[in-house]
Structure 1
Amino acid sequence: TEGFFQINLPVYEQALRDIADHVDEARPVVDLYSGVGTIGLTVTDNHLTLVEINESAVREMNRNIEALNRANSRAILSASEKVLDTIVSGSTIIVDPPRAGLDDKVVGRLNEVLPERIIYLSCNPVTQARDVARLVDNYGITYIRGYNFFPHTPHIENLVVLDKKSS
């Protein structure tokens, strides 16, 4: 398979546990920029929609869905910004975008429909901070943690959980 995989498994597993701690099983989950589906398929057994633009990653994701017998999970081959209708009110949205961060259309949709929670894992804290700044009018930061997935390099991963503000 072609694609990107985390290599520092103990640290990645901690990040997955932290994400799972913030997933409400009563809500549908949408995992955008989902790669082969590792995050979404690990953190919830609930109704799960996974969106990924890379065709080989989606093929692997479908194999993972089948191997885990997840009839309530579906994979969508698309850019996240082209399936904005998957972002709905009352859901939990997981995003793990590339270094460029979230597409403007995704941020716009998040601010429009106001899902209950956004779980944002980022490999670029600069673009993550930019994106979070565009969400804080409607969301409060309830959790933040950095991870050193790549020791002895300048790269870090950062997790931010945002909850919809009460109206």
Structure 2
Amino acid sequence: MKLILFLSNCMIPLIIFLVIGVGLSMKLDVFDLFLEGAKEGLKTVLGILPTLIGLLTAVGALRASGIFDHIGSLFEPVLSKLSLAPEILSLVAIKMFSSTAATGLMLDIFTRYGPDSETGWLAALILSSTESCIYTMSVYFMSQKITKTRWTLAGALTAALAGVMMSMLLTW
């Protein structure tokens, strides 16, 4: 186990040194290339910053208003028959928009039910098997100036639903 921890701690520095070594062996100006990449990255961040702020503000406002809890309580009769906590539905809804907010909700679930409970396991599996589709799509499409998304949202939501369903099957 100590070997695995040691190797995992060394991976990022090893990759950095490998990239620098390959660049130097190809006689490239690694530092100038790094600076160009950093400038492009900052341009991308500035381009998508309004989208990020809008999404995070909207998710924070919805979560603070308690709308996700209300939706969970509306579906509680159905969820109780499936032996699911109402917070799971809120977790799935929030995860579509923000992984950070979903992680906060998962920690709330851990506090209430415990991390080793069936609900805790399900929450952890859902977070690890789904992606924040709306957030990822909006950031990617905004940065690349893509306006025609075609079937991307339908595919992403189908994949998220499959992840939730498999998480449920694995915890039952």
- TM-score normalised according to structure 2 size: 0.29
Structure with more helix by fraction: 2
Higher-Rg structure is 2
- TM-score normalised according to structure 1 size: 0.29
Structure with more strand by fraction: 1
